[in-house]
Chain A
Amino acid sequence: MTVVGVLALQGDFEAHGRVLERLGAQARVVRESADLDGLDALVIPGGESTTMSLGIEREGLAEPLRAVVRAGTPVLGTCAGLIMLDRDHLDLLDMRARRNAFGRQVASFEEELDLPLGDAFAGSPPVRAVFIRAPWVEEHGEVIDVLASVDGHPVAVRHGDILAVAFHPEITGEDRLHRWLVERAAARRTGPTPAPAHEAA
């Protein structure tokens, strides 16, 4: 069975766990570095990015998380998870996030987005994307694929097997992003697959 670690220092990690279990994966709560052993994939959930980053520091999780991702483990980051992946935090994606970019909670919104993310999305309906005090990608390097933008700002980016989105598929019943993650994990386990692009970065 595919084991997906969900960083659970704070945030909506349970919502991610429910989606993963519906897809037949095993969701494992990650709070200490030992919890990272033997993962097939990783989710960094939504939550408060300041709280999450202080928790990563307190637990000494930054280096172990980087090691897991640099070894090629597929990753999905949502909202605060996108922020954690940027240059100013775990530095796993060549981009910088702008926090609370769309404004305060009263400006939080939902909207439909087309997400070109492989077969699961070909010819299927758009994603109902829920943005809650959401970030956007302020600027990024050339290796980053921008999959979707809102108001001209990237809100879904990918580099190899690292996918980061500013919205919350985990709270809407949407499971295609998690399915992509589980499929990437399975492809990597069963091989033969070329090394994901992000390993070389």
Chain B
Amino acid sequence: MRDVATHRVKTGLAEMLKGGVIMDVVTPEHARIAEAAGAAAVMALERVPADIRVAGGVARMSDPSMIAEIQVAVTIPVMAKARIGHFAEAQVLEALGIDYIDESEVLTPADEAHHIDKWSFKVPFVCGATGLGEALRRIGEGAAMVRTKGEAGTGNVVEAVRHMRAIQGEIRRLGSMDPDELYTAAKELQAPLDIVGQVAEDGRLPVVNFSAGGIATPADAALMMQLGAEGVFVGSGIFKSEDPVRTGAAIVEATTHFDKPERVAAASRGLGSAMAGLEISALAGPDGDGLLQHRGL
């Protein structure tokens, strides 16, 4: 008997993306450059996060005609973003035949309390997380892949590092616990007990975990991979750099050879300037407003 769009098929596509780089693209031309640079998938959107920050206003799902043009431009998987909680945008993306939906804090949230019920879709979802509890809540809602949120559009890797270390550290902590202690751990993480138990036993998340939000150089990619990322998303870092073609290929090479510094060094040579980048403290108000990562916890 044939079963279409099972959870295993959804998490399986993320397995196939491992060790790869998923690149933000805003035009079919960008998509072709990304594919030729070795991207494992592209994320189709109207503006890269750095430009969304500058433009302000409400950031929404991209125009379906732009997404459709990118789908015909490349043969690698095409992802697109829906607003947090905006299940109607997700329905539209599914109808377009998108390969993965990113329920993303980079867009303006549509629901302050609820994420999309991702189990009710055939298309798989990836969601951002700043820590383990958040990652497991998203998995509980049906996410088939997670990524660190980092701080999108900054070219500053510090937040991605913070989130990856938090997730990996909390996984190690669960692994050292007595089974009796998992109930309280689940309560503290505000995450489903069965998934908490599974993570404690396996020593890893039940889905693939990429890094996103501030990766701008080959060395940034190598850093995240060594910290436990299984692949990277690069948003503004490629098409805001001086030489996107070479920067894209170099980040792909560094992601593959993340544990060989001489290969990362070779890939990093002569790329011209990376995207300018932003200091996080310049974005955050006294209570942390202005940070995309605080959306949809």
Contacts and interface: CB of A to CB of B under 8 A. Distances in A.
A10 B209 CA distance: 15
A68 B88 CA distance: 51
B106 interface: no
Contacts of A110: 2-3, 6, 8-9
Interface string A114-136: 00000000000000001111000
A162 interface: no
A48 B20 contact: yes
A5 to B, nearest CB: 16
A172 B20 CA distance: 22
A15 B3 CA distance: 22
B15 A106 contact: no
Nearest to A8: B19
B256 A111 contact: no
A47 B77 CA distance: 11
A132 B8 CA distance: 10
A48 B18 contact: no
B4 A107 contact: yes
Contacts, number: 120
Interface residues of A, number: 37
Query: Which of B5, B94, B124 is most buried by chain A, counting CB atoms within 10 A of its CB?
Result: B5
Interface stretch (A36-44, A49-57, A181-189): A49-57
Contact of B94 (A14, A100, A106, A133): A106
B111 to A, nearest CB: 24
A46 to B, nearest CB: 5
B8 A47 contact: no
B221 interface: no
A174 to B, nearest CB: 12
B100 interface: yes
Contacts of A80: 16
Contacts of A10: 18-20, 38, 40, 256
B19 A104 contact: no
A33 to B, nearest CB: 14
Nearest to A29: B259
B75 A105 contact: no
A172 B8 CA distance: 8
Contact of B123 (A13, A100, A106, A133): A106
A132 B12 contact: yes
A145 B13 CA distance: 28
9 contacts: A10-B20, A47-B40, A51-B252, A105-B123, A106-B97, A106-B123, A108-B5, A109-B6, A132-B13
Interface of B: 1-6, 8-10, 12-13, 15-20, 35-36, 38-41, 75-77, 94, 97-100, 122-124, 249, 252-253, 256-257
Given A10-B20, A51-B252, 10 more contacts: A8-B19, A13-B18, A48-B40, A105-B98, A105-B100, A106-B4, A109-B6, A111-B1, A130-B9, A133-B13
